[in-house]
Amino acid sequence: MMPTGRQKEPEPISAGNRRRVLIAGCLAHITHDGLTDMLYVFLPVWQQAFGLNYAQVGFMRTAFSGALALFQVPAGLLAGAIGTVPVLVAGTMLTGASLTAIGLVSTPLLLGALLVAGGIGAGTQHPLASSAIAYVCSGVSSRVALSTYNFSGDVGKSAVPLIASFLIAWAGWQGAISLLGMYGLAAALVLYLALSGMPLPRNSAKGRKHLPGFGFITRQNAAPIAALSSIGMIDNATRGGFLTLLPFLLQEKGAGMSTIALALGLVFAGGAMGKLFCGILAARVGVLRSVVVTEMATATCIAGMVFLSADEALALSPFLGIVLNGTSSVLYGSIPEMVSAEHRNEAFALFYTITIGSGAISPFCSGLAGDAFGVPSAITFIAFLVLVTVPLTSLLKGAIGRES
């Protein structure tokens, strides 16, 4: 019998269960990031199908990513109340069902409403999957596991947009997005089967001394968390704004739909390679120096896309992806080093709310800039905005252990 007044010690997590949670988390990341970023392929199609301007196209993207960002913290708190698995599975089902239904819409209003619903479902993945992996993989293995998890997201970003372009050519855009939505529903079933019964965190509010979502912030980690979140915020804003306008920039250069989808696929594939490249660079020159180098390279490459021909821009796409997606991702695995285990659901949720929220707003803002000043000028401004991250790295010195 358990002694009164004492909490039962958690049972050790077996290597098999750790592997199972990591694989399931990677599947969730592949699915949600892939389905999220494949929407860029559909933007030019929706512009023609519904007669939208750049701002309206950007708003469609913002409808999905904005809902995704806003549901990060609620997803973390909901998981604390009813468990990680039911919230993650239900969110994946909602995203899959919403995308499946988009294939039936005939008005931009209904399209926007379904994108909001899909974004709410997608908002469960980042805080819950990353927190679950950090929970079962402690210590040094946590950073390795989270790096693997981050890499898996880029696999989805690389593969699903390319698959979407082939499906559009084969089944039309309505058939393509419905089929991809069904894939999301199938992934939800696999996640349920894989994670049921796993020892995942379920944080109770009982006995807490802080408000949910803010208890992890202390005098020691406040400035580094703010700097890390700011870098992620700018990174996601510039990435989202640039990728929203990139298909239209390539269209102005005479590129067709297949070339646009290939360019996006190469950018995302480069992003997957960027995880490895930035890891090697960080080992040689340090995490913070590698971020400075890659952010400067990102600004240069984004500006270069404006002046290059369509073929030259296509050739630059993989390298752009390396520095665009692989930059501050090196720092994201530092959250477990700054926050205690009991608050990681909330820390990841708040972090992703801030960073993904900026990426949610940026497509609409970049669309407005594209309408007002033209696509090339808007992209040039984005290139300069990337450089704002460079001075912020100085606030992270000493906050991410020996790798800083």
Mean confidence (pLDDT) of the chain: 79
Structure confidence at residue 12 as a pLDDT band (50, 70, 90): low
Instruction: Give the whole-number percent of the chain exceeding pLDDT 90.
Output: 18
Instruction: Tell me, yes or no, whether 266 lies in a domain.
Output: yes
If one compares 259 and 227, the residue with the highest pLDDT of the two is 259
Rounded to 10°, the helix 310-325/287-307 angle is 160
Q: Range with the lowest mean pLDDT among 179-193, 271-285, 339-353?
A: 339-353
Is the confidence at residue 263, as pLDDT, over 80?
yes
Structure confidence at residue 3 as a pLDDT band (50, 70, 90): very low
Instruction: Tell me, yes or no, whether 7 lies in a domain.
Output: no
Is the pTM value of this prediction over 0.75? no
Task: Count CB neighbours of 398 within 10 A.
Answer: 8
Q: Range with the lowest mean pLDDT among 268-272, 295-299, 317-321?
A: 268-272
Structure confidence at residue 101 as a pLDDT band (50, 70, 90): very high
- The predicted pLDDT at position 346 comes to 66
Q: Please name which of 329, 238, 256, 187 lies closest in space to residue 41, comparing C-alpha atoms.
A: 256
Instruction: Tell me, yes or no, whether 1 lies in a domain.
Output: no
Q: CA-CA distances (angstroms) from residue 256 to 4, 163, 172, 304?
A: 70, 16, 15, 20
- The predicted pLDDT at position 142 comes to 63
Mean pLDDT of 192-201: 77
- The predicted pLDDT at position 284 comes to 75
Is the confidence at residue 377, as pLDDT, over 80?
yes
Instruction: Tell me, yes or no, whether 226 lies in a domain.
Output: yes
Taking CB atoms within 8 Å and a gap of at least 24, the contacts of 285-293 are 286/403, 286/404, 287/330, 287/331, 287/400, 287/403, 287/404, 288/393, 288/394, 288/396, 288/397, 288/404, 290/330, 291/231, 291/327, 291/328, 291/330, 291/331, 291/389, 291/393, 292/390, 292/393
Is the confidence at residue 220, as pLDDT, over 80?
no
If one compares 376 and 137, the residue with the highest pLDDT of the two is 376
Cα distance between residue 59 and residue 362, in whole Å: 9
pLDDT digits (tens, 9 = 90+) for 267-290: 888 877 776 677 677 667 776 777
Q: Which two three-digit tokens encode residue 358?
A: 């900026």
Is the confidence at residue 69, as pLDDT, over 50?
yes
Mean pLDDT of 3-13: 48
- Look at the chain and report how many structural domains it folds into: 1
Question: Which residue is associated with the tokens 């693997």?
Answer: 148
Q: Which two three-digit tokens encode residue 104?
A: 């039936």
Structure confidence at residue 258 as a pLDDT band (50, 70, 90): confident
Mean pLDDT of 17-30: 86
- The predicted pLDDT at position 212 comes to 47
Q: Please name which of 197, 232, 194, 192 lies closest in space to residue 348, comparing C-alpha atoms.
A: 232
Cα distance between residue 289 and residue 44, in whole Å: 37
Q: Range with the lowest mean pLDDT among 14-23, 53-62, 231-240?
A: 14-23
- The predicted pLDDT at position 208 comes to 41
Instruction: Tell me, yes or no, whether 5 lies in a domain.
Output: no
Structure confidence at residue 71 as a pLDDT band (50, 70, 90): confident
Instruction: Tell me, yes or no, whether 244 lies in a domain.
Output: yes
Q: Which residues does 201 contact at the CB level (< 8 Å), separation at least 6?
A: 79, 80, 84, 131, 132, 135, 341, 344, 345
Instruction: Tell me, yes or no, whether 109 lies in a domain.
Output: yes
Instruction: Tell me, yes or no, whether 273 lies in a domain.
Output: yes
- The predicted pLDDT at position 32 comes to 93
Question: Which residue is associated with the tokens 């960080």?
Answer: 282
pLDDT digits (tens, 9 = 90+) for 43-66: 888 988 888 888 888 888 888 988
What is the CATH classification number for the domain harbouring 102?
1.20.1250.20
Identify the domain containing residue 188 by its residue range: 15-199+210-403
If one compares 89 and 162, the residue with the highest pLDDT of the two is 89
Grouping H, G, I as helix, E, B as strand and the rest as coil, residue 3 is coil
